[in-house]
Amino acid sequence: MSTILVIAEKEIREGLRNRWVLATTLLLATLALSLTFLGSAPTGNVGASALDVVIVSLSSLSVFLVPLIALLISHDAVVGEMERGTMLLLLSYPVARWQVVAGKFVGHLAILAFSTLVGYGIAAVALAFTGGDIGRESWAAFASLIGSSVLLGAVFVAIGYLVSALVGERGTAGGIAVGIWLVFVLVYDMALLGLLVVDQGRTVTGGMLNVLLLLNPTDAYRLINLGGSAGAISGMGGVADIATLAPAVLLAALVAWAAIPLAAAIFVFSRREL
């Protein structure tokens, strides 16, 4: 266990030193703050809690941004260290390969969690000070937004490691990471939407839709955040009603989406020769 923590600590130190932590935190905070104050202006008083509006806009934003940040910090993790020659030295130490991957995962996840918590937290705190009345239910939804965003980050960090362990060059890893991001964030939903429109509910049943939504981690994430009290004011409310997925199932899907690629990355990396 301590070996994993040593590697995680080094990863965090590097993240602080090369300003990754600062950059992602600032990016998330800036976007969250601008969405909070610019985005809430047109809603006026429509009965929806101000924080609910922020949750809906922030989760739509996170679906794009969090996977991108996660892939950016993770796609280089294995292949980059191999190319720079630091992996060779690291593995000559009493360190198992799974510990290398696990340590990096803990470190990268800590960086993501910190950025998300601080970045989004600033916006919520600012809203509480200026907007006043926010219900307990909205706070719970906001906490779930932060938690699920970190989980979504974990999914794409794990996918990034798998790519990184499979390829031979950093450039290839970067290209594949961009492709994966496009597919999960844009292409998959457009294709799914197209399918639903063409199909008109003839063959795609609710059960099938459930499966199709669980097959994309970003959809599971959307349903977690847009299905609850905030869902009524988002466009996802309709889909959330048809797709009858309990939050526990969605959460389990996200955990599986993180665990399986992570295990695969460890497996591939363990068998790889340097």
How far is the C-alpha of 135 from the C-alpha of 15, rounded, in Å?
36
Taking the mean position of all CA atoms in its chain, how far away is CA 228? 19
Q: If phi over 0 gives left and psi between -120 and 50 gives alpha, with beta otherwise, what is residue 228?
A: beta
Label each residue of 54-121 as H, E or C: HHHHHHHHHHHHHHHHHHHHHCCCCHHHHHHCHHHHHHCCCCCHHHHHHHHHHHHHHHHHHHHHHHHH
| Minimum CB–partner distance for residue 85 and another protein (Å) | 4
- Indicate the residue among 2 and 45 with the shorter CB distance to another protein: 2
- Yes or no: say if 218 and 184 are a contact pair by the CB < 8 Å rule: yes
- Indicate the residue among 93 and 129 with the shorter CB distance to another protein: 93
Which residues of the shown chain bind another protein in the complex (CB under 8 A)?
Answer: 2-3, 6-7, 10, 13-14, 17-18, 84-86, 88-96, 273-274
| Minimum CB–partner distance for residue 107 and another protein (Å) | 12
- Indicate the residue among 26 and 90 with the shorter CB distance to another protein: 90
- Indicate the residue among 17 and 202 with the shorter CB distance to another protein: 17
| Minimum CB–partner distance for residue 111 and another protein (Å) | 14
> In which residue are the tokens 């699920």 written?
148
| Minimum CB–partner distance for residue 83 and another protein (Å) | 10
Radius of gyration for the chain, computed over Cα atoms and rounded to the nearest angstrom? 20
- Indicate the residue among 17 and 136 with the shorter CB distance to another protein: 17
How far is the C-alpha of 80 from the C-alpha of 98, rounded, in Å?
17
| Minimum CB–partner distance for residue 167 and another protein (Å) | 18
| Minimum CB–partner distance for residue 3 and another protein (Å) | 6
Per residue in 87-105, is it b (16+ CB within 10 Å) or e — as a string?
Answer: beeeeeeeeebbbbbbbbb
- Indicate the residue among 7 and 69 with the shorter CB distance to another protein: 7
Coil, strand, or helix at residue 205? coil
- Indicate the residue among 92 and 203 with the shorter CB distance to another protein: 92
How far is the C-alpha of 78 from the C-alpha of 130, rounded, in Å?
45
| Minimum CB–partner distance for residue 8 and another protein (Å) | 11
- Yes or no: say if 26 and 123 are a contact pair by the CB < 8 Å rule: no
- Indicate the residue among 133 and 273 with the shorter CB distance to another protein: 273
| Minimum CB–partner distance for residue 100 and another protein (Å) | 10
- Yes or no: say if 7 and 100 are a contact pair by the CB < 8 Å rule: yes
Taking the mean position of all CA atoms in its chain, how far away is CA 220? 11
